[in-house]
Chain A
């Protein structure tokens, strides 16, 4: 087990080096010039060349890349934003709790809805409740979350005079007020993500319910509730965990959109603001940090398999 983890971690290093190379090349070799954008945005500089020199953009690309990666590896320094001149990592850390909370609540909403509806659908296969569940799942799959988010922002304010809370309050300042702000975006995002979870929960549970050990459980005379919840559910969870893990990058990508709509000061909004300003170091570093998280998360997911199904062992 320990060896497996170490090997996976060692494999992650070349992946992340490639990630950094890809994102760096994209930022440097595609058209679009941050310097010109900054001058247009009234950044102070005597000449364009001077600004370019000040930002270190006049150096060869290789030097710039090594400078960036070297800073991260040697000093844990992800560089500064070109526009605000603030350290990127500090800003990331400051904003990350918002995004993490949004992601956690979203996953909670989608997993709870998905698993509950999925179980009912599978256990009551081909009944009315199964069909209702399946239709809901298809609806959830089809409605784009940003469309739903816009409707949730616009429609209730017209017809019920209700608007989402726009001013953000940190979780640590006032948990209740914070939850009031986060719950609407999390519900919107979570509901649309529940569809695939529900579908996979249903099919996985149906498959497990047909296995021999479940037949044994039935023949022992156990009640249905015990069989489903204690015997079948845990084994049926593996595809669900995989799916949630696979979807996590989607939550992060989606959080950019959700945070822009609901004006939550998270990493997504930080990233989007940096994008519109072509703030290379921010875009590069956020991409790299998030990719690192995704790689770590994939490992974590593989390890939970062993917990969910004792038959799985890693060597």
Chain B
């Protein structure tokens, strides 16, 4: 094909001033996601619904999440209680909506904290290198040798169940684990000649790490965070299931499923079904959204 030079431009000159304005970058991204990632789109839609449910839980339901009504126990389904009521007459739909709020609170809190920690640890370890790196990586090794749930359960049984505790513990665990990935990326960035050049120009360590390495690590962090959300939410649910996560009366999907209510579930199976469905949908949504974002943002991490 001939190069586009003024000579090869056809008679109809293109008037650059009347060209439609360039589409902002995000419409492009959205269109691409919709076309190439239908499952990711479904996941994203679920996540948005969940977000809305979490934010507007107060407006969506007339009941409080701990509001009991002993005259209305074990209702299967009726006009007032769309998903029925539990052994204390609490509205199941209300509790599921509020549980979305707590799951997202813990999920985003832990992933946010964990991403910060992973970034700081990973970049520091990679940039500093040498003995510090070696020592830090051995600690990370030791941490990874623990079967995840066991050590989290140990810590939480000591700290006691609370929303803050579980967020902190999950966040720190997430941070240590993913610092490995950040470190790997930072290591390869560190080797670029422009880093050497910046150093030669007299930039300090803080400037090199924050201005030159951090932005390049950013896509990886976004991917790690989005794919990690479903794991964190699932872990929170497992811990709450065991009674080590979020304490009552706050509703969580894991807590609603927990063995404490098993006797009631035989009488009212919807007490087990709806939280399980809600949790599965949430995990599905975050999984699919995370996968799609990963493929689009950082194909290197595929299958990770």
Contacts and interface: CB of A to CB of B under 8 A. Distances in A.
Is chain B found bound to chain A in the same assembly? Answer: yes
Contacts of A146: 237-238, 241, 254, 257
B291 to A, nearest CB: 9
Interface stretch (B98-106, B195-203, B213-221, B270-278): B270-278
B241 A295 contact: no
B154 interface: yes
A23 interface: yes
B276 A261 contact: no
Interface in A1-60: 14-16, 18-19, 21-23, 26-27, 30-32
B64 interface: no
A154 B265 contact: yes
B55 interface: no
B266 A31 contact: no
Interface in A239-258: 239, 248-250, 252-254, 256-257
Given A158-B269, A250-B147, A287-B154, A257 B241 contact: yes
A138 B39 contact: yes
A275 interface: yes
B238 A26 contact: no
A291 interface: yes
A32 B276 contact: no
Nearest to A19: B142
Contacts of B147: 248-250, 252-253, 290-291, 294
A287 B303 contact: no
Contact of B303 (A155, A203, A295): A203
A5 to B, nearest CB: 18
Interface string B142-159: 110111111101110111
A254 B273 contact: no
A287 B139 contact: no
Given A141-B287, A144-B280, A278 B149 contact: no
Interface in A275-315: 275-276, 278, 283, 286-287, 290-291, 294-295
A200 B273 CA distance: 30
A232 B159 CA distance: 50
Contacts of A15: 138, 141-142, 145
A200 B141 contact: no
Interface in A204-260: 239, 248-250, 252-254, 256-257, 260
Contacts of A23: 146, 151, 154
Given A18-B142, A144-B237, A154-B265, A250 B148 contact: yes
A143 interface: yes
A146 B154 CA distance: 19
Specify the main secondary structure of chain A where it touches its partner: helix
Most buried by A among B138, B149, B288: B149
Q: Give the size range of B's interface with the partner.
A: 35 or more
B145 A295 contact: yes
Contacts of A248: 147
Interface string A94-111: 000000000000000000
A172 interface: no
Interface string A105-145: 00000000000000000000000000000000011011110
B259 interface: yes
A148 interface: yes
A249 B148 CA distance: 7
Given A138-B39, A239-B303, A261-B259, A271 B284 contact: no
A291 B280 CA distance: 30
A16 B141 CA distance: 9
22 contacts: A15-B142, A16-B142, A19-B145, A22-B151, A26-B155, A30-B159, A138-B284, A141-B283, A142-B281, A144-B234, A147-B272, A147-B275, A148-B276, A157-B266, A158-B269, A248-B147, A249-B146, A250-B149, A275-B154, A286-B150, A287-B151, A290-B146
**Top 5 closest pairs, chain A to chain B, by CB:** A253-B149, A249-B147, A18-B142, A147-B276, A142-B284
Interface of B: 39, 138-139, 141-143, 145-151, 153-155, 157-160, 234, 237-238, 241-242, 244, 254, 257, 259, 262, 265-266, 269, 272-273, 275-276, 279-281, 283-284, 287-288, 303
